[in-house]
Structure 1
Amino acid sequence: MQKIIIVLFLFLICGISVFSQEENSLNRIPLDTAVKIGKLPNGITYYIRKNSEPRERAELNLVIKAGSLQENDLQKGLAHFTEHMAFNGTKSFPKNDLIDYLQKSGVRFGADLNAYTGFDETVYQLPIPTDDPKLLESAFQILSEWAGDISFEAEEIENERGVIIEEERQRGKNVSERLSKKLMPILLANSRYRDRLPIGETAVINNFEHKTLKAYYNDYYRPELQAVIAVGDFKIEMVEELIIKNFSSLTEKGNSPELKEYLIPNNLEPLVKIATDPEFPYTVASIIYKHPETITRTEGDFRNAIIRSAASSMISNRVQEMVKNGNAPFLDAGVGYGPFQGGMVKMDAFSIQVVAKKPEELKEAIDGIMNEIDKMLKFGFTETEFERVKTTFMTSIEKSLMEKDKISSAGYLKQYLKHFTSGAAIMSLDYSYDFYKNNLEKITLKEVNEMGASFITAENQIILVQAPEESKDALPSEKTLSAWVNNKNRSVSEYIDDIIDAPLIEDKLLGAKVIKSKVHKSIKTTEVELSNGVRIVLKPTDFKNDEILFTAFSPGGVSLAKEAEITSAKMADNIIASSGIGKFNSNQLSKLLTGKSLGVGPYIGTYSEGIKGFSSKKDIESALKLIYLYFSHPRKDTVAFNRVMENTRVAIEGKSSNPMSVFQDTINTAMNGLGAWAASTTLKSLEKVSLDKSYNFYQERFADIGDFTFLFVGNFKTEQLLPLLEKYLGSLPSKNNKESFRDIGLKPLPGKVVKKVYRGLEDKAVVVLSYHDKYKYSKDNNLKLKALKSALETRLLERLREKESGVYSPSVSLSYVKIPSPYYSLAVSFSCASDRVEQLVEATRQEIEAMRAEGPTSLEIDKFVAQEKRQHEVALRTNNFWLSYLKNVYAKESDINSVNTYSRRLDNLKAQKMKKSARKLLDTEGSQELILLPENKK
């Protein structure tokens, strides 16, 4: 069950987190020598690092040390608008030529090529292949033209107004935006941040003069405020030459206004706000203690960072333990110290959030969470808690060190960006590991307790409540709310650390031997069968130094449940996974596994069940022990069952107030039919769920290891892993029953389906147009579907966004399945203004009909092939790809060598051959038109 915890956020802001600490030592952290930092005579800073993961790829960023805070009153939203204009034409790439050029080179718009605007930074992101020198050179030309030669053509500016408005509509026009507008004046009180949200103001977006937009660009896109970051598989000297060549000629164009620093002022008295909304489903209290921003520059900063992180981790662990124990007077809660509002503002905060079970139980929820805070303040933490955190920290840094030559290029960007914008340290993994190794044990529990106590301050407190409109009468006044939070008369007792020191497995394991073995040389896998019938497929790789991924599956799943027990069956895996294992409850198991890098969990899907997880090399035996226990000793835990049931109940109760949840139910019905297995869980069906039924169904699904297939991919030696597999998987019982799934009638409603749902308060419509049918499941037909999806997405982006200016980001989704019988679904979705639905639906139909009649163009196919090849090249070097690929092969009995022919099949994909496929696959006989409209349009 997904955690029900509401996180406050700044509406329509993209940003990055800052993990930095206060400067209290003269010992500066040494600069990582692997990165070359330079500055051109005109002031542009550059960072270059050679990194070979992924191979023949690079991550390029252009950073501008300015954002919405630098806008004047006539420019609110124009920092973000400027970012959009960068993709609508530069000196050498007019209009959409830039996007077109990159797409033909294998770079995807949105997924790869992207940008974001924050309060005080704007960042352009360009991942690029490096095996084509001309393309790499063009990439730096593009960055330089973003930095100084954006075209700002009048027609493009006018067209983009509507796109920006639709971006706001797509991301907002919902309960989150409405509550955000009510809470933002408190969160950002008395600061410039409050009046400079990056999305801007609609009146400005619709009416600004072109010269006002250009003025922002000229004033703040100046060399001294810009940095180029390049990390990838290239020669440093060559990249440096490209930067010098492309950026040296840039000069200032504006008046060079002063770059001011803006802060959020302190507040002596608590800032309190209660906000309600008809569509908000929960009652959530947030208590925030603002702290000055801290930046890690010195060894003292780093040491304080570790202490602060330890204290934050331990109080967070306590709260989660309380939730799992089932004795919390709240539904869910979370606490932690970190960047305020996700690092978008220059401030840190200790944040507490608690979800009340009912609106009238808000006081109990607040008392419950604040009791844990008071307990920390009065008694501090225990030595056993501290030892676990230190062990976890060392495990994490050791694993990072082991993977230091496998870190992706994207993993370095944030560190370099923060060095440019705030002067934060750039430290190597070797330095970081040595620092932990030499300093962690020197940190005392007293220091950690003092740090935890410093989180709670008399000043700079913010108290917020978000709740359903209907519960308004049950909520306290702001004065009473503040009194609840700041009650000094709570009586608390010392924390008791619940630990069981016992082995995971006490059974005598007999094991089973390999009786069959087969090597697939073409994909470098070994397939074995044990004497108890279990099939195991092993693929050793060197993509990561210390990663092993695994999964297992068996046919059956919920499809084999009795109709009267469907809901119990659907919830069985969540209930068991939340219950711990064997003699250990969930909290005890977490503590027992401290310091181990692993994760194991069971799942039961519609047509199959299994296990999935990961581990380090040294922890693979522990992972296999957990697998053994999930098969042989699942835990029946009443506390966990009650917690899952309560969370599910509250989630169901809240669905009716959420327009998208109601609309999603409509979509699910249209796509899956009206049968019992397709129905969503309701309060009535939830009443029929019992722990015994869920537990018994789980046991039935995992009772026989003989029809399971296990897949292991990662850095291991087959000859070393096999004895462990023989011991643990070989000790599980087999009844030699080969089960299969049942066809339970999950399929789209037949014929043409048209349905309008009227929910929501805002002028926002959501449209879903889908096409589906039975088809011959084959690798060639699946590839044609993917090509058709790509071409259609490109056309709709050009038509609905660029030409109509009516949609921000139209999406085309594709689904094709073989089980229980082959069928596909191709769905177009977008949000828009409610009065433009008919016009945009008609435009979409026109594009689909044109695609159906003519098929994709050669250019569209070429773009798809180029992008797919580039993505496939990278995917082949990841464990996740191979695990997914092998599962697909064995579950669907597909050609095991198809991965080796993929590139050739892409080359054979021609536009002429696609015409017939497009005509058949976009047949409107099986289609759905589903539209969500606001209530006032009914």
Structure 2
Amino acid sequence: MKNIKSTILLASVSLALSWSFQAAPTWAQVSQVKATTKAAAEKNLPLDPAVRTGKLPNGFTYYIRHNEEPKKRVTFYLANKIGSVLEDDSQRGLAHFMEHMSFNGTKHFPKNELVSYLQKSGVRFGADLNAYTSFDETVYQLPIPSDNPEILKNGIQIMRDWAQDATLDPTEIDKERGVVLEEKRLGKGAQERMQRAYLPVILNHSRYSLRLPIGTDEVLNNFKPETIKRFYHDWYRPDLQALIVVGDIDVNEMEKTVKAKFSDLKKPAVEKPRTKYTVPLTGQNQFIAITDKEMTVTVAQVFMKQPALDLHTASQYRQSIIRGLFNRMSGARYAEIMRQANPPYLQGGADLSGFLGGLDTYSVYAVAKPGELEKGFKTAWRETERIKRFGFTQTELDRAKQSFLSDMEAALKEKNKTNSDSYVNEYLQYFLKGTAAPGISFEYDLVKNDLPGIALSEVNAITKTSIKSTNRDVMLLAPEKDKATLPAEAVVNTWIKDVEAEDLKPYNDEVSKQPLLANAPAAGKITAETKDAALGTTTLTLSNGIKVVLKPTDFKDNEIVFSASAPGGTSLYSDADFESAKNASGMVESFGVGNYNPTQLEKYLSGKQLSVSPYISERTQGVSGSSTPKDLETAFELIYGYLTEPRKDADLFQGIITSSKAGLANRLNDPNAVFQDTLSAVLGNHNVRRTGPSIAKIDQISLDREYAIYKERFADASGMTFTFVGNIDIEKIKPLLEKYIASLPAKNLGEQAKDLGIHIPEGQIAKNVYKGSEPKASVDLIWSGAFEYSAAEKIQLDALKECLEIRLIERLREDESGVYSPGAFANNSKFPTQRYSIFVYFGCDPKNADKLVASTLDEINKIKTNGPAQVNIDKWRAESIRSRETAVRTNGFWLGYISGQINDKEDLHQLDTYTKDLNSVTVESVKATAQKYLSGKNYIRMQLLPEAAAAK
């Protein structure tokens, strides 16, 4: 598929409480868990009673749940306990290849008819319709409309076809070889080369280290159709499969259909045993140091491997809570180190989380500043040693408990508005790994019952079992130029011993007792109020000139999102001040707010569900964030504080500057960074505001100047408009608006952003960047120019982009097998001038770049000459309608729409013409749009090619 998830993520994902949350079980079940016998604690937790589950006589499992978020939608997942670890030597890569082939022809949908049919039904290829293959599993996902009986019927048939009726046509297999090899090519680079070296070590030379899902070139190029058919026959069988169905459906009817459709799945006459592979613990320590010329940083990471924590029983759940508390407190410690005036490394941290093959790992890592590996590593290890030696403090645990419970309460409040995808993912883990899925009400009661009784000694005890001196792997990754200076294993072991011998002091948990704000706001007034019944909004005018748009919704029970903006931004400052202006909001925010430095602020906000961030963009400044209704006043405090009581910290500033310079030291090693910097410079006509980062630019940043610019940008809030969307009580929010927003300073300066005259240059430009050693190319094609800005024209442009992308997928990928995932996107703007840009991009074999560009231009010429195929317009229109149906039921959509319309000075009722504008798109209109915007008059071709190509 388009977005195959076939890579291992070694930054481990925590197993503890990684599930999402669901509806309530019965009180009898909750009482059963609260019955505190050891036998009850060791019982498997019950499955969420809101899901209908069963197993057919052939071993096929199903999970079905009714859920109306989103309405008129249903999500199907076909889960298979089948992954690359099951391949024999002649099949390496074929588990993943089989996943591709499921989209290239099944019994009821030959060749590519499956994808085409779903696109016409409003299902987006790659974004909605997708799949992934990993070591132990292959999962297909299909979200479809549930209000059309024909689509629903065919959706179930597709799942049945995927289960056992792929056609595996030899011609289609040969065509797909190129696609999979191009996907493999995209992954090549420093990380992939280094991964090949270290995976066998950290996976203890287990079967996992020999079965990367992407496979080998030798197998992918040469396997016979019979080989993949054998894999399919052996492993795609009902006892290893489950269908998960969650959505706006009738559970009883769906269960009948599933039984009728899937009961005839056949098991092989001779079943191969499904071996459960593991990564063995050897009791040995290992060390590996790897360098690569394209690596940009030096990383030291220590893995301490141990048996995994399963999550089946109440006692295991309690242990997972303890682990969650441990990781929260550990994370806070390491975050505090990064907030020091001069952080000892670029990044650092430690946590206890899931690994692979039945293991968990306590992992400590440091991304070192150039030449400071020892300092960075020792700092990271020192905090782990401090935790091991002294444990955490009671105040740290109290905050972690408060935060933990707050997260659970927030999830509980949204139990009736949980998205179907969350349930699907939960049942997926239940089937694949047996991970408990009892439902949010059940989980909340477990947490509420267990959390108070968890003692500090229990959390600290984790260090005794997790921070170990055996089964410990040390890995160093670094730029090749630093190879000679990398320490040997004995040296790193000495560093560890040095830290362990230090006279460490226990952690001192300083918590401020001051109020957040130094000065209480002087409340203003609401001076005017208007309502828009059609839009469902209330607009308030405040005494300082600020306007506030409120849109109450019932999409989420526990969510309010907001943003505010006023014209100005960095456009009002000279090039000499640009770096200070651009970095002002991020840096000043990092200094804390009001009476609190960043560490004190982090502790103050513990247990609160909110986020607030000021920003300064090129043409606006403002603030954005989210909150629960419960924590809304704290969010208002932060808004007021960031805009009126910013902090200035010379030590923190210098630390950020030092770290930023260190982070750029090896940037030019990375081919993609070099290409993106060049692309940005060309598209920005080499304006200094569009060129890439550099140490010289960092040197232009002045603390005094950026602080002054920050205060200037927020000194006059009179031109600002706030938008709030979500579970808003208008009468309750009004006093908060008067206290914290109507009190913001207003000078009525009437500032407007400036037109800097920066846009994509006119004419035809071709530029190659030669960087990197792998035989792969990245191609970007860009068309740009003046745009006739209107709602209808934007829709015509979107239709053109989508019809072009459909054809590029069909031709470059399916017909020519030359790319993995070609893409197209279109931008348009109203201010400072009305302009558009259309991008086409893909990765490929450098030898094929010219041919694929020619094919792209040929498809564009066909659209300009004949227009797109009507069927492609129909696909785009169906996708647009279906996407909009679900989007308008989210707070994020309305926040973006309202604030965007206000910033662009557009009518808030523009949505009223959406359907009309959508239906006005025709073959002829897209043809005319292509002729207008893809004329080739302004056309840029940018390519990243390997260094070897420069000599040819």
Q: TM-score, normalised by structure 1?
A: 0.97
Is residue 2:603 matched to residue 1:603? no
Aligned residues: 925
Q: Which residue of 2 aligns with 1:393?
A: 404
What displacement does 1:178 show? 1.0
Q: Which residue of 1 aligns with 2:381?
A: 370
The separation in 1 between residues aligned to 2:695 and 2:518, in whole angstroms, is: 41
Secondary structure of 1:276's partner? Answer: strand
* Residue in structure 1 matching 2:263, options 248, 260, 269: 248
Q: Which residue of 2 aligns with 1:63?
A: 79
Contact in 1 for aligned 2:73/2:248 (Cα 8 Å): yes
Secondary structure of 2:364's partner? Answer: strand
The separation in 2 between residues aligned to 1:618 and 1:587, in whole angstroms, is: 23
* Residue in structure 2 matching 1:825, options 834, 837, 846: 837
What displacement does 1:818 show? 1.1
What displacement does 1:328 show? 3.9
* Residue in structure 2 matching 1:313, options 319, 323, 328: 328
* Residue in structure 1 matching 2:897, options 863, 873, 885: 885
The residue type paired with residue 836 of structure 1 is N
What displacement does 1:31 show? 2.1
Cα distance change on mapping 1:873 and 1:10 into 2, 3 Å: closer
Contact in 2 for aligned 1:786/1:814 (Cα 8 Å): yes
Q: Which residue of 2 aligns with 1:296?
A: 311
Contact in 2 for aligned 1:61/1:123 (Cα 8 Å): yes
What displacement does 1:522 show? 1.5
Cα distance change on mapping 1:468 and 1:450 into 2, 3 Å: same
Contact in 1 for aligned 2:350/2:384 (Cα 8 Å): no
The residue type paired with residue 76 of structure 2 is L
* Residue in structure 2 matching 1:136, options 141, 145, 152: 152
Is residue 2:286 matched to residue 1:271? yes
Is residue 2:855 matched to residue 1:843? yes
Secondary structure of 1:705's partner? Answer: coil
* Residue in structure 2 matching 1:148, options 146, 160, 164: 164
* Residue in structure 2 matching 1:862, options 863, 874, 880: 874
Q: Which residue of 2 aligns with 1:925?
A: 937
Secondary structure of 1:526's partner? Answer: strand
State the Cα deviation string for residues 307-336 of structure 1 (Å, max 9, x = none).
Answer: 111112211210110111235422220211
What displacement does 1:584 show? 0.8
Q: Which residue of 2 aligns with 1:3?
A: none
* Residue in structure 2 matching 1:48, options 64, 68, 82: 64
Contact in 2 for aligned 1:551/1:611 (Cα 8 Å): yes
State the Cα deviation string for residues 110-152 of structure 1 (Å, max 9, x = none).
Answer: 1000111111111000011100011111111100111111000
Contact in 2 for aligned 1:557/1:701 (Cα 8 Å): yes
Cα distance change on mapping 1:35 and 1:682 into 2, 3 Å: same
Secondary structure of 1:325's partner? Answer: coil
The separation in 2 between residues aligned to 1:683 and 1:13, in whole angstroms, is: 31
The residue type paired with residue 608 of structure 1 is T
What displacement does 1:159 show? 0.2
Q: Which residue of 2 aligns with 1:414?
A: 425
What displacement does 1:25 show? 4.3
How do 1:372-521 residues align onto structure 2 when only pairs under 5 Å count?
A: 372-487=383-498, 488-521=500-533
What displacement does 1:57 show? 0.7
Q: Which residue of 1 aligns with 2:31?
A: none
What displacement does 1:545 show? 0.3
The separation in 2 between residues aligned to 1:400 and 1:781, in whole angstroms, is: 41
Secondary structure of 2:669's partner? Answer: coil
Secondary structure of 1:43's partner? Answer: coil
Q: Which residue of 2 aligns with 1:114?
A: 130
Q: Which residue of 2 aligns with 1:284?
A: 299
Most deviating of 877-886 and 808-817: 808-817
The separation in 2 between residues aligned to 1:785 and 1:400, in whole angstroms, is: 40
The separation in 1 between residues aligned to 2:520 and 2:77, in whole angstroms, is: 57
Q: Which residue of 2 aligns with 1:237?
A: 252
Q: TM-score, normalised by structure 2?
A: 0.95
Cα distance change on mapping 1:15 and 1:50 into 2, 3 Å: farther
Secondary structure of 2:745's partner? Answer: coil
The residue type paired with residue 743 of structure 2 is S
Is residue 2:173 matched to residue 1:176? no
The residue type paired with residue 475 of structure 1 is L
Is residue 2:934 matched to residue 1:911? no
What displacement does 1:12 show? 8.6
Structure 2, unmatched stretches of 5+, are: 1-5, 19-37
The separation in 2 between residues aligned to 1:805 and 1:24, in whole angstroms, is: 57
Cα distance change on mapping 1:643 and 1:246 into 2, 3 Å: farther
Contact in 2 for aligned 1:501/1:592 (Cα 8 Å): no
Contact in 2 for aligned 1:554/1:709 (Cα 8 Å): yes
The separation in 1 between residues aligned to 2:295 and 2:496, in whole angstroms, is: 22
The separation in 1 between residues aligned to 2:556 and 2:652, in whole angstroms, is: 35
The residue type paired with residue 334 of structure 2 is V
Contact in 2 for aligned 1:270/1:482 (Cα 8 Å): no
The separation in 2 between residues aligned to 1:16 and 1:832, in whole angstroms, is: 31
Q: Which residue of 2 aligns with 1:723?
A: 735
The separation in 2 between residues aligned to 1:122 and 1:678, in whole angstroms, is: 42
The separation in 2 between residues aligned to 1:651 and 1:236, in whole angstroms, is: 54
RMSD: 1.7
Q: Which residue of 1 aligns with 2:24?
A: none
State the Cα deviation string for residues 802-833 of structure 1 (Å, max 9, x = none).
Answer: 11101000010211111110111100000001
The residue type paired with residue 932 of structure 1 is L
The separation in 2 between residues aligned to 1:12 and 1:599, in whole angstroms, is: 28
What displacement does 1:16 show? 8.1
Most deviating of 621-630 and 634-643: 634-643
How do 1:521-920 residues align onto structure 2 when only pairs under 5 Å count?
A: 521-920=533-932
Structure 1, unmatched stretches of 5+, are: 1-8
The separation in 1 between residues aligned to 2:205 and 2:182, in whole angstroms, is: 29
State the Cα deviation string for residues 640-677 of structure 1 (Å, max 9, x = none).
Answer: 31232123212332321111111111211222212233
Q: Which residue of 1 aligns with 2:28?
A: none
How do 1:192-211 residues align onto structure 2 when only pairs under 5 Å count?
A: 192-211=207-226
Contact in 1 for aligned 2:305/2:362 (Cα 8 Å): yes
Q: Which residue of 2 aligns with 1:4?
A: none
Cα distance change on mapping 1:652 and 1:323 into 2, 3 Å: same
Secondary structure of 2:624's partner? Answer: strand
The residue type paired with residue 49 of structure 1 is R
State the Cα deviation string for residues 852-907 of structure 1 (Å, max 9, x = none).
Answer: 22222211111000001110000000000000000111000112111232123212
The separation in 2 between residues aligned to 1:362 and 1:670, in whole angstroms, is: 36
The residue type paired with residue 410 of structure 2 is K
Is residue 2:170 matched to residue 1:158? no
Secondary structure of 1:707's partner? Answer: coil
What displacement does 1:562 show? 2.0
What displacement does 1:639 show? 3.0
State the Cα deviation string for residues 422-454 of structure 1 (Å, max 9, x = none).
Answer: 222121111111111111000100111101332
The separation in 2 between residues aligned to 1:634 and 1:937, in whole angstroms, is: 52
State the Cα deviation string for residues 894-937 of structure 1 (Å, max 9, x = none).
Answer: 12111232123212222222221111111100110000000011
The separation in 2 between residues aligned to 1:23 and 1:315, in whole angstroms, is: 32
Secondary structure of 2:765's partner? Answer: strand
Secondary structure of 2:665's partner? Answer: helix
The residue type paired with residue 288 of structure 1 is F
Identity %: 40
Cα distance change on mapping 1:364 and 1:23 into 2, 3 Å: farther
The separation in 2 between residues aligned to 1:207 and 1:860, in whole angstroms, is: 35
The separation in 2 between residues aligned to 1:840 and 1:17, in whole angstroms, is: 42
The residue type paired with residue 58 of structure 1 is V
The separation in 2 between residues aligned to 1:17 and 1:445, in whole angstroms, is: 21
